[in-house]
Amino acid sequence: MSLGMSLGFQLSQKIRWKGLPIKEAAHDELNSYFPPTERGRQLVDRYGLVPWSGKLSRSTWDELLGTLDLLDQIPVHFFGEGAGKGAKDGRVFNALDVGAKSWRYLGALKSWLERQFSADVGSIALTGVELDAFRLYRNLRTGFSYGRYFAKQFSEEKFCCRYEAMDVLDWQKRADLISWFFPFVTPSAHLAWGLPEKLFEPAAIFSHVERLLYPGGRLLMANPGEWEWEIAKQLMGRLKLIFETRVTGSLHPSPYPIFVSVWSCGG
């Protein structure tokens, strides 16, 4: 199955079909959707998400709240100085999300970033990069069509979202903050996702991502399971671990505890 998925990846990269257009919340019942758990309702209230209640599908809500539940575990003071050189010089806060997949969780990143940084910077520019952006789903949509759709939906005058179909190794623009949810640190996870074995080079990817941070910048990461967390820590070379927490029972549907961490570049 992994070989077939790998061939599918190679074919999708050659064709680069964007997929059918996206239209979220196509059914009336979605307009009345509200998180069924107390924790979900707390997050909606804390991050001002009520206006989105009639605009997102339930699956998008679930992924958004699952991701926001992880981000909400990080104490505010780890970002109290506005993070990196770019924000201080140009007043535009540049954020990079590595491995954005379909970017269904973009609303979580947007609401969290605004709550953390909007008072300190003039505007926020968030870019999501995804290598496997042209993976075709059963509904004939792709990660690219979803990613571009959500980028358009969540962009505002002072919050610009971009979704780029590319390998992060080819990304050169530096960032004040980098988010990285569930990076592949083992060959089994990489192959299970359907990526070619030759593209599994975690040491090179971690080293490159580290170099993308401005001095004083922050990298936040989430890893599923203690074994992946231990591998990820070993792959980090230049950055300093300043926060870590083991999250269990979160809204994110992981069967394993999730390790959320924050890393600092020279500060």
Domains in the chain: boundaries = 2-264
Q: What is the topology classification, in CATH, of domain 2-264? A: Rossmann fold (3.40.50)
258-264 and 240-247 as β-strands: parallel, antiparallel, unpaired? antiparallel
Per-residue pLDDT of the chain (267 residues; tens, 9 = 90+): 455 567 788 889 999 999 999 877 644 444 456 677 899 999 999 999 988 877 888 889 999 999 999 999 999 887 755 455 555 555 789 999 999 999 999 999 999 999 988 777 889 999 999 999 999 999 999 999 999 999 999 999 999 999 999 999 999 999 999 999 999 999 999 999 889 999 999 999 999 999 999 999 999 999 999 999 999 999 999 999 999 999 999 999 899 999 999 999 985
Give the integer Cα–Cα distance in Å for 18 and 24.
17
pLDDT at 236: 96
Give the integer Cα–Cα distance in Å for 186 and 54.
39
Residue 21's SS3 state is coil
pLDDT at 185: 97
User: In this structure, are residues 132 and 193 in contact, taking their beta carbons and an 8 Å threshold?
Assistant: yes
C-beta neighbour count of 73 within 10 angstroms? 14
Q: What are phi and psi of 194, to 5 degrees?
A: 95, 20
Give the integer Cα–Cα distance in Å for 247 and 229.
12
Output the 3-class SS for 142-185: EHHHHHHHHHHHHCECCEEEEEEECCHHHCCCCEEEEEEECCCC
Give the integer Cα–Cα distance in Å for 109 and 155.
12
Chain centroid to CA 251: 16
pLDDT at 122: 84
Give the integer Cα–Cα distance in Å for 175 and 95.
5
Q: Which residues are CB-contacts of 230 (< 8 A; sequence separation ≥ 6)?
A: none
pLDDT at 90: 52
pLDDT at 32: 53
pLDDT at 1: 44
User: Quick one: tokens of 150?
Assistant: 């959500």
CA torsion through residues 103, 108, 114, 116, sign: negative
